[in-house]
Structure 1
């Protein structure tokens, strides 16, 4: 009887390992604090939006700061979230500095 209990406890412990790893892998990533940049972003590029795509919203391209300068990130499709609308990311001035406001879904 003690052997069966021991095997049962080992079985429970072995089942907890994958569950624990799955829980750790699915933890949310928290937003990074804003990075303030003293150099204004370049003017927006003209980007041709592809034709409509059912179930998706177009997220326009934007400039991203890469430590030493701005790099253009082309636009892409965002899957639609029902009961919400997409607010695209944008650069915002704060005094002489600039910071990036991430795009997000708003209700």
Structure 2
């Protein structure tokens, strides 16, 4: 819905400027939200398996995405805590998920 509003606003602004001066040029830059690929989970191997979401790992000095997978908890009542991006000076770093 927000993306639709942004597109409509940009179109309205473009029309206003286009009718105001026919020699004017407008450059519109938009950062569109990308949800990423749709991941279809494979069938759960057993009732004890837990889905571990996609993770980011460092390979050759770059972050690359590792697909999600089913895993058995390392101990009874263990809960998977998903990883997340953490803001640091100069950018973000990935904090890996872990079993709690």
Larger Rg: 1
Q: Which has the higher contact order (CA 8 A, sep 6+)?
A: 1
